[in-house]
Structure 1
């Protein structure tokens, strides 16, 4: 099923609490879809004849979620997951658009790979996939990629995934080149030499377990260098996955001076700490690592203050064997698409954010970072819609996760918030 509006018949979503942060709308009203676009809010447009009615009474209706970092593992690692399996999970999670990092096999450093990923997603029709283009060829950190060609192939941003660009001169030229074509750049801030070989936060838990740590200074130095280059080049830089208090303070200072920089945080970083690694829990082996409670609280404060504007899943599905070896031999990352919305809703219950601001962090704000006209419900906009029950409770487990990856430190935890319908360009792609 292709991601086109041709198969989208007129639909009315009635009686839901519509929240559209981009238009500052929070009200109970009807939403009408036709031709793959938003046809109207409130009263149906003249001549509108709904072929399907969705009863959203007691439910929240918001734009389809936009996830700025989700690995789909295809091409090259289909034993972990595929575009088909993970976009199906995205639909179940209310996510209609996701950006995948370029560290596929081969990397997204040619238009052919970018087009392949987009084609695989369009054939399945569960979610829209925007591949990030490789900042350097082969992600080698040495040779700048053909960014103009990658942009034409549908890459909205450039990234080196979590591979360091050790050569500062190369990074400067890459930022300048990206800016020439109006492309934003996603940077994973980490000093390559300080972080190399580390696998958990350098702190008390790392010492107790005898595991090599990644110090806070690694991220701080990475942010400092990248901020200096952003100021030098005027490039639009986005920090992908902040994890420390000091880095968020540096980001806030730079933004106060008008630098065109932004940042996101993975949802799990707003909840979990280094304590999750206790007992050599490989499901909590993540990069960037889970930090201290003070770091977690600082990240929450930065989201509340609007300094960190987007919350993502940082989805990294693995096959079971990837987490079964002794901790140092396990692969980092967690399956996180389907826990994104519930974790964000948890911030509302903890009074970190109100519901409108929380939804903005997973809709309009990440859409702006990707420079795409998504994450909104105004008439004429693409009809990407998420309808969810904010009170439904469910337990994270192998039987409740659609993703092929079941690797998550949240296994067995009860979460609140469940998606009932997801619509992509006006088509129902999930009903649960």
Structure 2
């Protein structure tokens, strides 16, 4: 590829917090030079110049939680379709969860996913390996071998490890390999037949509720095990103030603990379920508006480390059902940034905090060199028009499934172009 000069842009570096006009020179898949201010890097002869027209230029987003059907459920999503949805949403790196068929619990399957992503995906795709064999919660996987094969984290996806002894052992072995354990904190026994947040609204709708304690009981147990073992622990999704308090106390103790929140729980609440709209059925469930506000405050304060899409495609046969019978999950790769900008435009989260949680912090947790606007970093970049407003049409989405909770929603901020290793992989084309 010939060198490219992305000029006349508003540069935003989430790592340093710097934000001003400038230009970026790309060479050999990496950022070769950055000019802050009115000056421009000296472009080599033959370089292609791209006028960013004053729009934002920032590092591509890193999504730490995306469920992809391949292998085994390609009718829901493939690495190819997920990567195109990611590129359209400004996500240049995604971590795919191990809930596949077969599960990603063997080095050979890790290698398969990496090779398939290399051959079919247009963004960076890294596998997370299963924490227990078969995602059954009974016997931990070979963490060392899976790490050597290329797994960047360990998780049982949407399942919690019930057995405290197994969880303790997994955290101990993960510590020895400096591996990250990402856990879904939800007690399956307390969840039972619940389908939404337990409270007044669930009673009025006649739906079985899921108590907040289903989350905090598992989280508190896990944090005690972290104190015992010293393993790196990441609570995949927290949704309410009690969990925030537990995480804050653990960090104050110096424990190697981090946490994430989904864009759905940061932007939506249980009232959006309305007249039993199954696209809003999630795991964990959407909470009360007070819980949502507490999450946004915790994100702005830096207690919540990362924001994820929790991308989980479901087809018509499993989603277009009565609410209690519908499958959990919503797609989110294409609405991750636009949803986050709702928080910024609403004044509840600062832009620098949002971008830090979407780029720098996930890169740090996964040990990746991305997420920074600095010379030598990978040229995984996006150009964003933050001011454009539009109504989301699910027919325009790239994901194979269309179960978005933002259908017909008014959004602001559109990704105009996405570069991965300096190569243009997505460009918005208006109708």
Match in the other structure for 1:295: 291
Match in the other structure for 2:185: 189
Match in the other structure for 1:34: 27
1: CA distance, partners of 2:241 / 2:227: 21
Cα deviation for residue 355 of structure 1 reads: 2.0
1:156-195 per-position Cα deviation (integer Å, ceiling 9, x unaligned): 1111112121110010000111111110110111123212
The change in CA–CA distance for 1:290 and 1:338 in structure 2 (over 3 A counts) is same
Partner of 1:361, secondary structure, is helix
Match of residue 421, structure 1, among 417, 426, 431: 417
Match of residue 18, structure 2, among 18, 25, 28: 25
1:20-78 per-position Cα deviation (integer Å, ceiling 9, x unaligned): 11133211100010001100001565672353222112210000100000112111111
1: CA distance, partners of 2:95 / 2:165: 27
Residue 371 of structure 2 corresponds to residue 378 of structure 1: no
2: CA distance, partners of 1:74 / 1:317: 12
Q: TM-score, normalised by structure 2?
A: 0.96
Aligned runs of 1:56-135 on 2, under 5 Å?
A: 56-135=52-131
Match in the other structure for 2:48: 52
1: CA distance, partners of 2:304 / 2:153: 18
Partner of 1:376, secondary structure, is coil
Partner of 1:252, secondary structure, is helix
Residue 208 of structure 2 corresponds to residue 212 of structure 1: yes
2: CA distance, partners of 1:420 / 1:395: 16
Residue 405 of structure 2 corresponds to residue 409 of structure 1: yes
2: CA distance, partners of 1:50 / 1:258: 52
The change in CA–CA distance for 1:51 and 1:320 in structure 2 (over 3 A counts) is farther
2: CA distance, partners of 1:130 / 1:39: 25
Cα deviation for residue 245 of structure 1 reads: 1.3
2: CA distance, partners of 1:164 / 1:399: 34
Instruction: Report the aligned-residue RMSD.
Output: 1.3
2: CA distance, partners of 1:400 / 1:75: 25
Cα deviation for residue 255 of structure 1 reads: 0.9
Contact 2:311–2:332 at 8 Å: present in 1 too? Answer: yes
Partner of 2:92, secondary structure, is strand
Match in the other structure for 2:4: 11
Cα deviation for residue 314 of structure 1 reads: 0.4
Contact 1:205–1:277 at 8 Å: present in 2 too? Answer: no
Aligned runs of 1:258-269 on 2, under 5 Å?
A: 258-269=254-265
Contact 1:9–1:427 at 8 Å: present in 2 too? Answer: no
Contact 1:62–1:385 at 8 Å: present in 2 too? Answer: yes
2: CA distance, partners of 1:39 / 1:382: 9
Provide structure 1 residue ranges, at least 5 long, that are not aligned to the other structure. 1-7
Match of residue 222, structure 1, among 199, 202, 218: 218
Match in the other structure for 1:3: none
Cα deviation for residue 382 of structure 1 reads: 0.8
Contact 1:26–1:356 at 8 Å: present in 2 too? Answer: no
Cα deviation for residue 203 of structure 1 reads: 1.2
Contact 1:61–1:388 at 8 Å: present in 2 too? Answer: yes
2: CA distance, partners of 1:45 / 1:29: 9
The change in CA–CA distance for 1:225 and 1:49 in structure 2 (over 3 A counts) is farther
2: CA distance, partners of 1:279 / 1:219: 26
Partner of 2:66, secondary structure, is coil
Contact 2:297–2:349 at 8 Å: present in 1 too? Answer: no
1: CA distance, partners of 2:95 / 2:192: 26
* Stretch of structure 1 that moved more, 45-54 or 251-260: 45-54
Tell me the matched-pair count. 425
Q: TM-score, normalised by structure 1?
A: 0.96
Match in the other structure for 1:154: 150
Contact 1:22–1:364 at 8 Å: present in 2 too? Answer: yes
2: CA distance, partners of 1:373 / 1:197: 43
1: CA distance, partners of 2:144 / 2:133: 13
Match of residue 367, structure 1, among 337, 360, 363: 363
Aligned runs of 1:245-256 on 2, under 5 Å?
A: 245-256=241-252
